[in-house]
Amino acid sequence: MFIVVGLPGLFLALLTFLVIREPKRQVARDAAGHVERVNLWDVLRYMWEHRALYFFVMAGLTCYAMGCYGALSWMPTFLQRFYAFQPSEAGRFLGTSSLALGIPATLLSGIAADKLLIRGRNDGHLIVGALYVTGFLICGAIAPIIPDRDLSLFLLAGIGLFTFTWTGVSSALLQIITPQRMRGQVTALNLFVGGFAGVGMGPTAVGVTTDYFFKSDQSVGQSIALVGIVTAVPAIIFLLLARKYMPADMSKIERAATAH
């Protein structure tokens, strides 16, 4: 199944060479006309000078990633243990909900952020992000522990609305708050930290909580809910706190970078 699902992606990747034209790159030059080179030290120094903004944004995204990866990794197990789903049934249920709800929700997050920016809200991406994490918190914390089977499955499907649907908005936010010539390295750092914490710690946290806190394989639902709360609540707080440090004038970002 992995091969069947993945093969079309290879053909689509090759097709991009024919249908997508790479835009001409703008090369940053100093006053003397020399091409400016930015190394990792320059990027880290700039991030340190604006550490409050980057900390709250990246910490919020990292906590969110931990909750999402933890929930998605253990939801199939939860469905099999508590609702007698077969592995194929669990896969169809979660896959269909993510496909049917996740794609529209991703598009909606970008549209909502753009609308807020047009209205003068420079913190629009953070507002949308906090709302999406709140939705994930409600579904992820209630669905695994509520005794009503139908409502539980309804909320589990609803997780597809919020899980990973903010990735586009978060990437756009990092592009906005980062000078042009530093964006690639800042994005890479965010993906490294978020991926390490999300993939490495999220699923592990659910497993450890099940084995050592609840001490029962039948408590995986409670573990998913607990890890979801512990990660989503700080994520919401961090994203809301980041609003305070968003620059009112975005042009100042490039001017501040030229000082380096």
pLDDT along the chain (260 residues), means of 10: 87 86 68 70 92 93 91 92 91 89 89 90 91 92 90 90 80 87 90 85 93 91 94 95 83 52
pLDDT of residue 194: 83
pLDDT of residue 29: 61
DSSP string, the chain: -HHHHHHHHHHHHHHHHHH-PPPPPPPPB-TTSPBP---HHHHHHHHHHTHHHHHHHHHHHHHHHHHHHHHHHHHHHHHHHHH---HHHHHHHHHHHIIIIIHHHHHHHHHHHHHHHHTT-TTHHHHHHHHHHHHHHHHHHHTTT-S-HHHHHHHHHHHHHHTTTTHHHHHHHHHHHS-GGGHHHHHHHHHHHHHHHHHHHHHHHHHHIIIIII--GGGHHHHHHHHHHHHHHHHHHHHHHHGGGS-S-THHHHHHHHT-
pLDDT of residue 251: 57
**pTM, full prediction:** 0.83
- Considering the domain delimited by 47-258, tell me its CATH architecture: Up-down Bundle (1.20)
